[in-house]
């Protein structure tokens, strides 16, 4: 873990944590892509703000395939 926090949220330091390669189910990749394109309005608005860096400058991933699951983080 880095010694310098990326940012502070309500006084709590936020650090970047890098995770190595995770198992991927290639059959879910097209489904993840479809989910990214067909989000509901609230999700679209949230991700627009996140991509503009308005969420404390923290980088997030959308619809990432990990094993047999599709996750946002």
Q: Does position 19 have pLDDT exceeding 80, yes or no?
A: no
- What pLDDT digit, counting tens, does each position of 38-61 carry? 878 988 888 888 877 777 777 777
CA–CA dist 3, 11 (Å, integer): 16
Angle at 20 between CA 44 and CA 45, to 5 degrees: 5
Q: Does position 29 have pLDDT exceeding 70, yes or no?
A: yes
Residue 33: CB atoms within 10 Å: 13
Strands (E), the chain: 7-9, 12-14, 64-66, 69-71
pLDDT of res. 52: 79
Sorted by where each begins, the domain ranges of the chain are: 23-71
The reply to whether the predicted model has a pTM over 0.85 is no
């Amino acid at each position: 873990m880095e010694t310098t926090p990326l940012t502070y949220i309500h006084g709590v330091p936020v650090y970047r944590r890098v995770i190595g390669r995770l198992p991927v189910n290639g059959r879910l990749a097209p489904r993840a892509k479809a989910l990214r394109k067909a989000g509901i309005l609230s999700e679209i608005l949230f991700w627009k703000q996140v991509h503009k860096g308005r969420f404390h400058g923290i980088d997030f991933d959308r619809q990432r395939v990990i094993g047999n699951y599709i996750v946002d983080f």
